[in-house]
Amino acid sequence: MKHIETVDARGLACPQPVLLAKKAIEVHDDILVIVDNNTAVENIKRMASKLSCTIQVARMDDGTYQIRLSKGDTTMADEKSSVVRANETIQGGPFVLVFSEDRMGRGDSELGYVLVKTFIHTLCQMETKPDTIIFYNTGVKLTVHGSEVVDDLVQLAADGVEILICGTCLNYFEISDKVGAGTISNMYDIAGTMCRAGRLVIP
C-alpha cells in the first residue's frame, strides 16, 4: 500500500502551512495536508501548482480541509524554472513595487491618500509597468471593494501585472472577503518575490 505522508498544519499561522507542505512534498511523492482555513488551502494549491503536483481538496465535517498532493512530471517545471532564472539574470530580475500603507509618503495623511490614488492611476497609463505589486499592512486596504483604486488594480492585473496581497494582513483587518483585485498570498511567496527582485520600489 502506497505511503501517504500526513502534515497537520491546523492552527498554524501563515506561512507555516505552505512551508511544511513544500518541505514534505520535496521528500515524499504523496502527502496529505490538513489545514483549518481557506487561505491556507489557496496558498498550498498555488505552491503545489508551481511544483506540477496534482491537487485534491476535500472539506471535512469538522470544518477542516484535507489537501492531497501528488508529484507529477516535474521535468517541465524544472526546465521552466531554469528559463525564468536565466531570464532574470540577463534582465536583472523583475520589477517589484511594494505598498506597505494605503498612503504615500510621510506627512499629511489626507494628502498621502490622494498621492497613492494618483500614483496607481498613473501606473495604468505607463508603458513600462511593474512585474509584481505587493500589498501588506494597511496597503491591503487599497485592494478591496470600495477602494478608489480597485478598478485601476483590476486593469493592471488585466495588463499582466501580478498582484499579491498579504493574507495575514487581510485577516487582521477582517477584510478577506472584500478583495476586489489581486491574489491573496502569504509571506513565503511575498518574501521570495522580494528576494528575487531586480528592482524593489516602495513609493
Domain 91-201, CATH among 3.10.20.30, 3.40.1260.10, 3.40.50.720, 3.90.1150.10? 3.40.1260.10
Which grid coordinates belong to 171? Answer: 485577516
Locate the domains of the chain by residue range.
5-75, 91-201
pLDDT digits (tens, 9 = 90+) for 6-37: 999 999 887 788 889 989 999 999 999 999 98
Contacts of 161-164 with CB under 8 Å at 24 or more apart are 161/129, 161/130, 161/131, 161/132, 161/133, 162/131, 162/132, 162/133, 163/132, 163/133, 163/135, 164/132, 164/133, 164/134, 164/135, 164/189, 164/190, 164/193
pLDDT digits (tens, 9 = 90+) for 66-79: 999 998 754 444 44
Q: Which CATH architecture has domain 5-75?
A: 2-Layer Sandwich (3.30)
